[in-house]
Structure 1
Amino acid sequence: MSRSRVIAGMALALAVAGMGTAVADEYRFMPAPQIDLNRVYRVNRLTGEMGACQYAIKDNTVGVALCYPAGEGGGPQPIPGDYDLVRSNHEREGGVFRVNVRTGEVSICYVLTERVVCTPQAR
């Protein structure tokens, strides 16, 4: 095998490995601060779209993952960013903060009537 083919193969392998990392970093997850709530929030790091899931008991089964889609303010944001989640230290808080680390904007997101809703972004 020629040296150029070996280098091309190595470059392709590195690119594929890098794509796996990019996909793995697309979402961030954060549990709700409320100590008696088994809910985890997720945010799409690029778009800011929110979601949440929690465990639910279902008779005669091991249970189900009950997931909530984005609702008002929780969908993709108008400007792509670098979104992350931050929880408060308030043990009765059921929501989380969605932060855009590029702009410093913050909103609060929580589950309301089976949707994840968020306040308007502010700084």
Structure 2
Amino acid sequence: MEEIEILSQKPKEEVLDFIRKRLFVEGQTEHRKFNMSGYESKTGECTVSNTAILNEFADLGIYDYTDYLFLDFYKGTPTVYLKYWGEEKNLEFNFDGYTTSEIIYEVFKLTIFSGMKKRRRK
């Protein structure tokens, strides 16, 4: 059974634990977290940092279901923008009040757990 299939059958709390383990950095007391403020002292700093965190899960295929998938934070409000592969509609999802792990879990639900059409990459 493929890792995604196994992961999709686990309870939410176990998937959240999987996410936290992926984001854990040896020697740190907490896992990596999104900069949810959206503010930055250097142009692009927030976007680069947050994208790097989301990209920790690219190997699971989160981008294979979309033409684009983008996470943005504005004044503390996280929004996921996406367009499913082969679809016409641009979508946005607000995850205000969610933690980093919960946002990534929601991205999983929108992509690898969605059952949506996946583009062929091989």
TM above 0.5, yes or no, is no
Q: Which has the higher strand share?
A: 1
- Which entry has the higher C-alpha Rg, 1 or 2? 1
